[in-house]
Amino acid sequence: MTDHLASQQQRDKERRTLKRHQLRCSAELYSVDGDCIGRLVNIHHQGFMGYGFAEIETGERLSMMLNLAENVQGYSTVEFAAECVWRAQGMSEDPSAYWYGFQIVELSPTNKSTLEKIIAQESF
C-alpha cells in the first residue's frame, strides 16, 4: 500500500470519528498576508472545514489566521499552518464558491491552547 493511500484511509477514518464543532460566533479565515480565504464552517483540534472564494489547490499549505468576530476569554485570533486536503466547488447556491477541508499541520503551544479554549467556550 502506498503512503498516500494509507494516509487517505487514515483521514477517512478520522473524518468519521472526530467530533466537529461549530462556533457560536462568526469566524473568518485569512492568510497571514491578510488575504481573505473564507469563513469557518466547523473545526476540531486537527482540522477544519471552510467556505469561500479563494482558489486553493488540494495539497496547498498556507499560513493562516482564524479571526473571531468577538473575543473569547481575551482571544480573537489563532495562527497556524494548514494543508488543504480536499476542495469542492458548486455545492452551494453560488457556483463560484468553494468548500475546503484543511488539516492543521503546524500549531504553536500557545495557539493550540487558545484554540482549545475557543472550542470549549464557543462551540455547540
Q: What is the mean pLDDT of residues 53-78?
A: 93
Q: What is the mean pLDDT of residues 42-66?
A: 96
Q: What is the mean pLDDT of residues 60-89?
A: 93
Q: Is 110 exposed, middle or buried (0-12, 13-18, 19+ CB in 10 A)?
A: exposed
Model pLDDT, residue 95: 86
Q: What is the mean pLDDT of residues 50-72?
A: 94
CB 58 within 8 A of CB 84: yes
Instruction: State the residue for C-alpha cell 500500500.
Output: 1
pLDDT tens digits, one per residue of 2-44: 444 455 555 555 555 788 899 988 999 999 999 999 999 999 9
As a CATH number, domain 21-122 is 2.40.10.220
If you write DSSP's letter for every residue of 63-95 in order, what string do you get?
EEEEEEEEEETTEEEEEEEEEEEEEEESSSSST
Domain ranges within the chain, ordered by starting residue: 21-122
Q: What is the mean pLDDT of residues 106-111?
A: 96
Model pLDDT, residue 28: 97
CB 37 within 8 A of CB 30: yes
pLDDT tens digits, one per residue of 74-85: 889 999 999 999
Residue 73 confidence class, pLDDT cut points 50, 70, 90: confident
Model pLDDT, residue 8: 52
Instruction: State the residue for C-alpha cell 488539516.
Output: 103
* pTM to 2 decimal places: 0.81
